[in-house]
Chain A
Amino acid sequence: MRLLLLLLVSLLAACGNEQGEDSDTAGLRVYHHSSDGAPTSLDPVQAATLYANLIVVNAYDTLYSYKYLERPYALKPNLAAAMPEVSGDGLTYTIKLKRGVHFIDDPAFDGGKGREVTTADVVYSILRHFDPETRPQGAWLWQGRVAGLEEWKAAGPDYDRLPDGLEIVDDYTLRIHLLQPYPQLLYTLAMGYSGVVPREAVEAYGREFGLRPVGSGPFRVVRYDTEKLIFEPNLNWRWEPVDLAAEGFDPATQGFTGIEVLDGQRPPFVDRFEISFIKESAARWNSFTKGNEIQYAGVPVELVDRVLASKDPVSLAPEYEALYQVRSDIEAGFVYSAFNMDMEFGTDPDPQQNERNRALRCAMIKGFDWERRNDSFYVNLGKVFPGVIPPVVPEYDPDASVDSVTRDVAGARQLLAANGWTPETLPTMVYGTVGSVRSRQFYEQFRAWMMEIGFPREKIVLREFATFGDLNKRWRESQLPLISAGWGLDYPDAENTLQLFYGPNKAPGSNSSNYNNPEYDALFEQAAVMLPSPERTKIYRRMNQMVIDDCVAITGLSRTRISVWHREVLMYPDTSIVGGFFFPFVALQDEKGLRLAPEPTPEVN
């Protein structure tokens, strides 16, 4: 009996400990975010995914960031003191840094006190992308653009020897010398890849640096594992009062969020920022609707019809309306399937066979039913568009012909027959994908459509891979005939999607389709050095038409994301370009209004 009592007491004590965790946060302003995937590393050189980027731009400073509310997206200085001075030829960028910015305190520093961020840190952070030891993934942003980087890499990474293109003018001034004009340079300096890291911490922690972020961003990581990440505000960060007008606030489209009350207030508005990584959409939804376990989620596709009262404009059903806020935003990216032009149905030196191959690809494009794909998997909320310039970028052409995204089974069959393609001569198409229910359904739908235009069932073959990494490796090695992928824009410029078909980027580069059209490449190179202008837009659209005319890809559809969050949270979340840059503005309210930090109690001497 005594033993039983002891056990009971121990059990109660254990429960008490669990509650103790809650009591740690009692009275604190805690915001519970969720993400459908976890980053595998928080090292900026490996911030290749949206998940990693979301965190990295909050743990680290970037020179520039996006205005919270401005649409179309616009940059603003972050660690930089101002927008850069650009030379007349567009080849030299001079960037001043803010003074007095410090890394967070960490044992890696002398005395454990975070030191000031200087130009040398910015240069070091970019150079790490050219050091194979760090397993970097962002070198493509600056390779061949910034002078001397390739030579620096070829000579063996030596951080004490700087390349010509990265000049440290003084502790607070950086000068970047380009090989040719690069209008997208500033966008790259707002990406997680360009997060500024301290050399001491990288050297102290080695490979573990990806798990122990030491940055100068608005938040410091206090817990990070595969289930959860917890941020606490970096109280030494430059928390400037919110200037909604400067952030691009539009009362007509953003007023519903109630964020006007933040104007003039000084963040941080939360004491703790918890991000739960929940992959399963059903589990996320259950967690979201269960009290305050998480306060932000996406609406699962299967629940859209039940949760929404209207899709256009998006509004919640009454039972949800009272509890949650909602907004939809079209993704900065698109989904598509590209043909591997190095395969038997791609480019052929024999003009007759080349034309025959093009007819086959065009027939497959005609056989694809974008409207139905949109209905099946995106509840008709996706935006179908022709080509590879998605609606989110300014170069998108709303008046372009939609022939390439309109299904025409009879036309497809006719095209195949006219070019001598029969069920016997049609090639086998291996559809590579990551093993999941949804991917399999994509495949089955695709197979059924191809069967309708004349493909025998056994010629559309599924090949599943355990991870996206495995699949991506096969694409990079040009081993698969079809590249069915989603592309998220790194910055709001169509150059970022058009480069997917630029010849010199062929596999193992980002041009997994291995499209190689000298005329297209010449136009790409011509536009690459141009600033945004109607002339550049014209060139972009011409390139877009080439991709359509050559039947290089079955494209495309931009998905619409529906975000919902609890009404006590004041924010305007953005799932793509702004990404994690909205975190510092997140605030909580209660029945009395905005929850501000309590006034510090005056010390009594």
Chain B
Amino acid sequence: MNAAAEELDPVGLSDAAPESLWTKGLYKFRRDRVGMWSFAVVLLYVGIALGVWLGFWATGWADLAGGKWEPVSGAHWFGTNIIGQDIFDRAIYSTKTSFEVGLVVAVLATALGAILGAIAGFFSGSWLDELILWLMGVLDSIPFLLFVAAIAYTLQSIPEISKYSMHIAMIVTFWITAGRLVRGEVIKLKEMEYVDAAHALGVPEYTIIFRHILPNTAHILLVQATITFVAAIKSEVILSFLGLGVKDSMSWGLMISESSQEVLAGFFNNFLAASVLLFGLVMAFNLFSDALQDALDPRTVAD
């Protein structure tokens, strides 16, 4: 290493020096202890959810495994509920529900936001941009819970779809933030030279948008997806608590809802089990999301 290089790379990392935003981000993320711990907790939850999905555990969540309100024991780690169902099984099973809702909503809402945001950004100032911005404003102005209730009511005559009314409402609501972020980024990116070059070469506009510009917003989308994931999980619990959410399955929200009657009788197991698991996942995902945001922020990634 010559002197000039030494000046630029005083700690001698130039051989392994990350080049792209992603490798730089990964490098930075791995050095974030809180981020790594939270990621480990998220992975643990993923493992639990996968185990449920594959039928390794919590298969008896709907069975009457014991008597009414049995206390914590070897047979029932979190006790049983009013009809004798095992609270541990139900709490574990609910992890899968949370991940299902979180993933479906995060992926679809982010994708929708990316597409509409990119179109609005690329054609900024046009009627198309105005239309999408108007749509965002309208949807943003509807109170979320009322919106879910309205969708649930509208879809109730179609049972096959009505059970997804919560998902639909969340996707229709949550894409907006991603859309606004992507729109702003695309407005910036479309002025870049490589886009001008693509134009000059006669590349069709949709190819420029989706092949050349959109991939460069991936770091925003990834962070936004994790934020949406957490928001979806929290919303699912709230909506299920209110009776607007999960129907034919189990959820922490339903468990907390059940407990609202049981606490009068001094029985807190449902409440504690659901709350602790929900808290753990939301907290871990929030920290993970923060760490990811820090790691992928282009302004700080070179630090």
Contact = CB atoms under 8 A, between A and B. Distances in A.
B95 interface: no
A306 B261 contact: no
A436 interface: yes
Contacts of B264: 281-282, 285, 300, 302-303
A435 B83 contact: no
Interface of B: 62-64, 68, 82-85, 153, 156, 159, 243, 247-248, 254, 257-258, 260-262, 264-266
B171 to A, nearest CB: 22
B85 to A, nearest CB: 7
A441 B62 contact: no
Contact of B83 (A302, A448, A452, A463): A448
A285 B261 CA distance: 12
Contacts of B83: 376, 441, 444-445, 448
A211 interface: no
A282 B248 contact: no
Interface of A: 281-282, 285, 300, 302-303, 305-306, 375-377, 435-438, 440-441, 444-445, 447-449, 451-452, 457, 461-466, 470
A437 B260 contact: yes
A375 to B, nearest CB: 6
Contacts, number: 61
12 contacts: A302-B262, A376-B82, A377-B82, A436-B243, A437-B261, A440-B254, A441-B83, A441-B258, A444-B62, A445-B64, A447-B62, A462-B247
A451 B62 contact: yes
A435 B166 CA distance: 15
A361 B159 CA distance: 25
A367 B154 CA distance: 36
A465 B260 CA distance: 21
B89 to A, nearest CB: 12
Determine which residue in B84, B156, B243, B258 has the highest number of CB atoms from chain A within 10 A of its CB, and name it.
Answer: B243
A369 to B, nearest CB: 9
Contacts of B248: 461-462
A536 B266 CA distance: 49
A463 B162 CA distance: 10
Contact of A375 (B68, B247, B254, B260): B68
Given A376-B68, A444-B85, A457-B62, A435 B243 contact: yes
A302 B63 contact: no
Closest 5 CB pairs of A and B: A302-B265, A302-B264, A435-B243, A445-B83, A448-B64
Given A448-B64, A451-B63, A437 B265 contact: no
Given A441-B83, A462-B248, 4 more contacts: A302-B262, A306-B265, A444-B83, A465-B156
B265 A466 contact: no
A449 B85 CA distance: 12
Contacts of A285: 264
Determine which residue in A285, A306, A441 has the highest number of CB atoms from chain B within 10 A of its CB, and name it.
Answer: A441
Contacts of A447: 62
Contacts of B85: 444, 448
Contact of A448 (B62, B258, B265): B62
Contact of B247 (A436, A438, A464): A464
Determine which residue in A282, A305, A375, A444 has the highest number of CB atoms from chain B within 10 A of its CB, and name it.
Answer: A444
Contacts of A448: 62-64, 83, 85
Contacts of A466: 153, 156
A282 B261 contact: yes
B256 to A, nearest CB: 10
Contact of A303 (B64, B156, B247, B265): B265
B31 to A, nearest CB: 47
A451 B61 CA distance: 12
A305 B68 CA distance: 13
Contacts of B159: 463
A282 B62 CA distance: 27
A377 B257 CA distance: 16
B261 A438 contact: yes
Contacts of A462: 247-248
Contacts of B82: 376-377, 441
Determine which residue in B62, B153, B159, B257 has the highest number of CB atoms from chain A within 10 A of its CB, and name it.
Answer: B62
A303 B68 CA distance: 14
A464 B243 contact: yes
B69 to A, nearest CB: 9
B117 to A, nearest CB: 35
B240 to A, nearest CB: 10
Nearest to B265: A302
Determine which residue in A438, A448, A461, A462 has the highest number of CB atoms from chain B within 10 A of its CB, and name it.
Answer: A448
A463 B247 CA distance: 8
Determine which residue in B62, B156, B248 has the highest number of CB atoms from chain A within 10 A of its CB, and name it.
Answer: B248
Contacts of A303: 264-265
Contacts of A435: 243
Contacts of B243: 435-437, 464
A452 B65 CA distance: 11
A441 B260 CA distance: 13
Contacts of A306: 265-266
A462 B245 CA distance: 13
A470 B254 CA distance: 22
B153 to A, nearest CB: 7
Contacts of B266: 306
A440 B84 CA distance: 14
Contacts of A436: 243
Contacts of B63: 448, 451
A466 B243 CA distance: 9
A461 B261 CA distance: 24
Contacts of A300: 261, 264
B231 to A, nearest CB: 24
B93 to A, nearest CB: 12
A440 B256 CA distance: 13
Nearest to B250: A444
Nearest to B82: A376
A437 B258 contact: yes
A281 B266 CA distance: 15
Contacts of A449: 64
A97 B129 CA distance: 76
Determine which residue in B68, B83, B257 has the highest number of CB atoms from chain A within 10 A of its CB, and name it.
Answer: B83
A435 B248 CA distance: 12
B162 to A, nearest CB: 9
A291 to B, nearest CB: 20
Contacts of A281: 261, 264
A94 to B, nearest CB: 52
Nearest to A445: B83
A302 B153 contact: no
A124 to B, nearest CB: 39
Determine which residue in B82, B156, B159, B260 has the highest number of CB atoms from chain A within 10 A of its CB, and name it.
Answer: B82
Contacts of A440: 254
